[in-house]
Every structure is written in C-alpha cells, then in structure tokens.
Amino acid sequence: MANLHFHYGVMGSSKSAQLIINAYNFRKNGVATEVIKPSTDTRFGATTIDSRIGLSVDATALENLEHWSSDAETKVILVDEVQFFSPSDIDKLVHIADTQNKIVMCYGLMVDSNEKLFPASARLVAVGAKLHAMASNCQIHGCMKMATHHLRFDSSGNVVRAGQQIELGDGNYKSVCRMHYNQFYKNQNTR
C-alpha cells in the first residue's frame, strides 16, 4: 500500500464520512490511528469531524504541523480538510510517511470556487501522493453529470467570483458539473 494518499472531491462527495469509516475500521482492527484537522475548521466543534450523514470522530485540531509530531505507536494518520493546511505542513506529512513508515491519508478539496488549486492540494499532487477522486453528482436539479466544481453564492443567490475563498460550511455552495459551472460562473450559454 502507498503511504501517502490524497482523497479529493467536491463538497458532498463523502470525504469526511470515508475518513470516519476508515478511522473506525483501522481502530477496530487494532491499528493505532490518529485523526487531525486544521483548527480553522470549527463547523461542528473544535475537536470533532462530522459528516453530513451523521457520523463523527474525535480529532486533534492544529493551527499548523510545525511543532506537531505523531505518537510513536501510530501506524495511520488521517487528515481532514487538508486544503486548509500549508505546503510546508504537507512536506511534514511527506517526511513522516517516508521516514516513519506510517500511512498518511489526506482528505479535502482540490480546487476552490474560482478553479484555483489550493496550495496544500497542489503540494500533495507535486510530491506524488496517490490520488483518489471521490465522485458526487451535480447539484443542479435534473443534472446527472459528475460534479467537478464548486459554485459559491451570496445571500441574494448571485455567484461570488472574487474575495475570500475560505468560508466554512456548505450553505452558500453548490457542487456542480463543468457545464453548469461555466454556465453560471462564466455566464456561458450551453446548447
């Protein structure tokens, strides 16, 4: 098994649910497992990861990984919302995976709502993490295409195209296919 993984997908593609399931299964089988997340993710509480389907797991919330080290007994490290960490934090995870023979499994978004790679996600790709795309359907009514993008809306229902890209929660977002992203974000008509 590869020792560095990046499970990525749009919002609603069950990334956190899969992390929670993996944490449960590893621990059930006696594998020492640590779960971490960025401290900026406070949607469901400071020290928990919750999925939209009702699963949860305790997690260690960290501002960054500069002074963090995993327990000596740990065999697996699960990282939620990895896109909110920095590229240097990714380098620390790479070092752990390569020198401590631990499996590091990261979960998060690849791109923001402006089609820009998150720096941490770009670093995971650059260092050769094994990529696992997690699929979800477009959230535009009646569309059955695979969601690949995020649209962000303001309180009036207008597409947000600029400004701060980190907004916690998914109330103002829709995961959409490329066609609908281009239609709404770029004001392109579709045939």
Residue 60 tokens read as 């260690």
73 carries an active-site annotation: no
Rounded Cα distance between 107 and 150, Å, is 16
Looking up tokens 């069950």, which residue turns up? 14
Residue 90 tokens read as 């990714």
Q: List phi, psi (to 5°) of 23.
A: -60, -45
- Cβ–Cβ < 8 Å for 191, 154: no
**Residue from 63, 66, 73, 81 carrying the catalytic annotation:** 81
- Secondary structure element (H or E) that encloses residue 183, with its range: helix 178-185
Q: Could you tell me the sign of the dihedral formed by the alpha carbons of 44, 14, 59, 81, in that order?
A: negative
Rounded Cα distance between 172 and 146, Å, is 20
Rounded Cα distance between 149 and 180, Å, is 9
CB atoms within 10 A of CB 45: 13
Residues with a catalytic annotation lie at 81
